[in-house]
């Protein structure tokens, strides 16, 4: 769904820019017209040879525009498609490139340009080249090749750009002074060691936990993976979870977990997921997704939790 929305927006922007310029000032786009029309316009004296040729100034402008486009696409696929590797960046960006290239060739060129009187330059009326479909198809084939190096640059940029969900949540600090009493310190250390030992003594596999939200407790079934067990072993825990996107509650945890992320494609209401290695997410609506997660478990019969931050308690 995200990719479809992105494709629609990019096609719309491309149509407004390319179509608008051609509609308002067609001679400025003369290098995109079939060669025979370019020669006719030159013969009529409507443009000069310098205008027809791809001058250094025009090439520099196109290179700048290409780098700007590459940066925009990299930002979009990093933020909205959860692309966090070179392969993901190249894959998502090239899919967008292909869709826009098809739109340009078959909708803008073959359907609009080849049949619109508004793009006909004065003095070239009646030229059959205005309906030269093969010229535009060849241009689209070249566009597929041009997109490869551009999308390779997107892949490199994706590796540099920061994560969508920040793990840099400020931690609470206390202003209490350190107690220097040796007896109290030893007691605290002893209690901590006892707790750690008891947690490591839990050798059984935990398959079910309870989740309490707004005073109501729900059953949750855990996945049989290392992430779910690591999460279960830290319970009981209560978190103030933040609202996001009208479909999830999330909290960035202080500790990290082992991960085995994958692309689920579809999120079901009640899914408990780990984003990255320390972002706990509870989804309360079902929807399609392009993000990658490690699944922890599923809460049975979870209702709509509303568009606000809430407190959620997890316990065995």
At 135-187, the pLDDT tens digits run 888 888 988 898 898 888 888 888 887 765 544 444 444 445 455 567 777 77
Q: For residues 65 and 13, what is the distance between their CA atoms, to the nearest angstrom?
A: 14
83 located within any domain? yes
Q: Is the domain of 146 the same as that of 214?
A: no
Domain boundary, last residue among 144, 160, 176 = 160
Q: Is the domain of 140 the same as that of 235?
A: no
Q: Is the domain of 96 the same as that of 231?
A: no
282 located within any domain? yes
Instruction: Compare 109 and 251 and report the one with higher pLDDT.
Output: 251
Per-residue pLDDT at 65 exceeds 70: yes
User: Is the Cβ–Cβ distance between 316 and 296 less than 8 Å?
Assistant: no
Q: Is the domain of 149 the same as that of 239?
A: no
Domain boundary, last residue among 160, 187, 213 = 160
218 located within any domain? yes
Global pTM reads 0.46
- What long-range pairs does 88-91 form, CB within 8 A, spacing at least 24? 88/155, 88/158, 89/151, 89/154, 89/155, 89/156, 89/157, 89/158, 89/159, 90/151, 90/152, 90/154, 90/155
176 located within any domain? no
For the segment 258-285, the average pLDDT, to the nearest whole number, is 94
Query: 243 φ, ψ to 5°?
Result: -80, 145
Number of domains in the chain: 2
Q: Is the domain of 248 the same as that of 303?
A: yes
Using a pLDDT cut of 90, give the percent of the chain over it: 33
Q: Is the domain of 118 the same as that of 238?
A: no
Omega prior to 10 cis, within 30 of 0: no
178 located within any domain? no
Give the per-residue SS3 of 141-166.
HHHHHHHHHHHHHHHHHHHHCCCCCC
pLDDT for 181 equals 66
Q: What is the gyration radius of the CA atoms in the chain, in angstroms?
A: 29
For the segment 3-12, the average pLDDT, to the nearest whole number, is 86
Closest CA to 8 of 64, 16, 127, 269: 16
Q: For residues 256 and 120, what is the distance between their CA atoms, to the nearest angstrom?
A: 63
For the segment 282-300, the average pLDDT, to the nearest whole number, is 94
67 located within any domain? yes
109 located within any domain? yes
Domain harbouring 286, CATH code:
2.40.100.20
Q: Is the domain of 224 the same as that of 141?
A: no
For the segment 213-238, the average pLDDT, to the nearest whole number, is 93
Residue 53: pLDDT band with limits 50, 70, 90: low
40 located within any domain? yes
Q: Is the domain of 308 the same as that of 219?
A: yes
Domain boundary, last residue among 160, 180, 212 = 160
Q: Is the domain of 129 the same as that of 211?
A: no
Q: Is the domain of 10 the same as that of 145?
A: yes
Which range of residues forms the domain containing residue 76? 2-160
Q: Distances from the Cα of 194 to the Cαs of 35, 121, 200, in angstroms? A: 83, 85, 10
Q: For residues 306 and 308, what is the distance between their CA atoms, to the nearest angstrom?
A: 6
For residue range 122-135, list pLDDT tens digits in order: 888 888 888 888 88
pLDDT for 173 equals 45
Q: Is the domain of 129 the same as that of 209?
A: no
Q: Is the domain of 12 the same as that of 111?
A: yes
Instruction: Compare 242 and 20 and report the one with higher pLDDT.
Output: 242
């Amino acid at each position: 769904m995200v990719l479809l929305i992105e494709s629609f927006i990019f096609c719309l922007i491309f149509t407004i820019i390319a179509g608008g310029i051609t509609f308002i000032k067609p001679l400025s786009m003369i290098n995109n017209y079939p060669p025979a029309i370019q020669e006719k316009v030159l013969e009529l004296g409507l443009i000069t040879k310098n205008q027809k040729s791809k001058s250094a100034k025009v090439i520099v402008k196109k290179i700048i525009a290409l780098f700007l486009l590459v940066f925009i696409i990299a930002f979009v696929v990093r933020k909205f498609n959860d692309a966090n590797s070179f392969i993901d960046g190249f894959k998502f960006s090239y899919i967008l490139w292909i869709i826009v290239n098809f739109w340009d060739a078959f909708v803008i060129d073959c359907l609009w340009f080849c049949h619109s009187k508004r793009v006909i330059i004065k003095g070239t009326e009646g030229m059959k080249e205005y309906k030269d479909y093969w010229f535009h198809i060849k241009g689209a084939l070249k566009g597929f090749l041009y997109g490869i190096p551009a999308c390779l640059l997107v892949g490199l940029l994706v590796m540099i750009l920061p994560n969508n969900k920040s793990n840099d949540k400020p931690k609470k600090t206390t202003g209490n002074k350190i107690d220097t009493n040796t007896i109290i310190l030893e007691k605290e250390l002893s209690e901590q060691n006892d707790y750690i030992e008891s947690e490591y003594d839990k050798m059984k596999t935990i398959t079910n936990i309870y989740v309490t939200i707004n005073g109501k407790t729900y059953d949750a079934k855990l996945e049989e993976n290392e992430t779910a067990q690591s999460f279960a072993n830290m319970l009981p825990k209560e978190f103030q979870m933040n609202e996001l996107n009208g479909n999830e509650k999330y909290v960035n945890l202080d500790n990290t977990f082992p991960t085995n992320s994958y692309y689920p494609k579809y999120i079901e209401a009640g899914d408990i997921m780990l984003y990255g290695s320390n972002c706990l997410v509870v989804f309360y609506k079902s929807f399609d997704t392009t993000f990658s997660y490690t699944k922890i478990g599923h809460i049975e019969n979870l209702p709509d939790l509303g568009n606000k931050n809430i407190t959620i308690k997890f316990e065995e």
